[in-house]
Amino acid sequence: MHSEKIDIPGQLSRLPLFATIGDEAIAHIAAATREKRLARGEVLFQRGDLPRGFHVVVQGQVKLAVSSAQGNEKVVEIVGPQQSFGEAVMFMDRPYLVFAEALMDTLLLTIAKNAVFELLENDRQFARRMLAGLSMRLHGLVRDVESYTLHSSTQRLIGYLLQHCESFEAGPNAEQTIALPTSKQVIASRLNLTPETLSRIFAELSHAGLIAVQGKQITIHDPVRLARYEP
């Protein structure tokens, strides 16, 4: 994996979380930040480990997941570039409830909790941004529970595909192709589906003329018609 040193202050200043703080505060945070490079399949932390800060993905992807005693895995979240994770357990000073594993070669920044706590005490705007980020994460978890409870398997997959569309138009020129960001097995777990169910739904949507599947490339012929589909 490419090991050239990165510009940590520059990376931090480009993150929405740190957009409003000054150069002096950025330098202070950067001094307490370490870069971490993970190869695909490498684990950042295990369930039960104690957090020493929180993490930001610069490049790559990380899955947060839990495993049962029988070896079954449930993907809780897929974290991509410019996204952070681990803030909540850092504040609670509790062990991680999930494990974190790189889905591809990944570059992370780990920001020490002491530096974060100092910034929270001195910068109200940063505190608000941190609270907003945690609130968005909570709303996302609530939406997940709602989706698993109220939406069918097909509706969950359609919703996931439409989230990755660049536009949402109807008509003959609305076709667009998206690339699935990770394996179908991981996506199935994220959507609380079995891989067999995911494959069946892809086949059903293809048969209905709504999508075409070629590996990780999914062509959506008409996003509006896909959104209206009812199995």
The string of pLDDT tens digits covering residues 83-109 is 889 888 888 888 999 999 999 999 999
CA nearest 141: which of 197, 85, 57, 61?
85
The whole-number pLDDT of residue 147 equals 57
Give the pTM. Answer: 0.75
Q: Is the per-residue pLDDT at 170 higher than 80?
A: no
- The predicted model gives 207-223 an average pLDDT of 93
Distance, CA of 136 to CA of 99 (rounded, Å):
21
- The predicted model gives 71-77 an average pLDDT of 85
Average pLDDT, rounded, for the chain: 86
Place of tokens 């609270």: 131
pLDDT tier for residue 144 given thresholds of 50, 70 and 90 = low
Q: Which residue has the higher pLDDT, 125 or 146?
A: 125
Q: Work out whether the CA dihedral 151, 97, 86, 72 comes out positive or negative.
A: negative
Q: Is the per-residue pLDDT at 46 higher than 80?
A: yes
Buried b (16+ CB within 10 A) or exposed e, 79-114: beeebbbbbebbbeeeebebbbbbbebbbbbbbbbe
* Proportion of the chain above pLDDT 90, given as a percent: 45
pLDDT tier for residue 152 given thresholds of 50, 70 and 90 = confident
- The residues pairing with 124 across neighbouring beta strands, listed in sequence order, are none
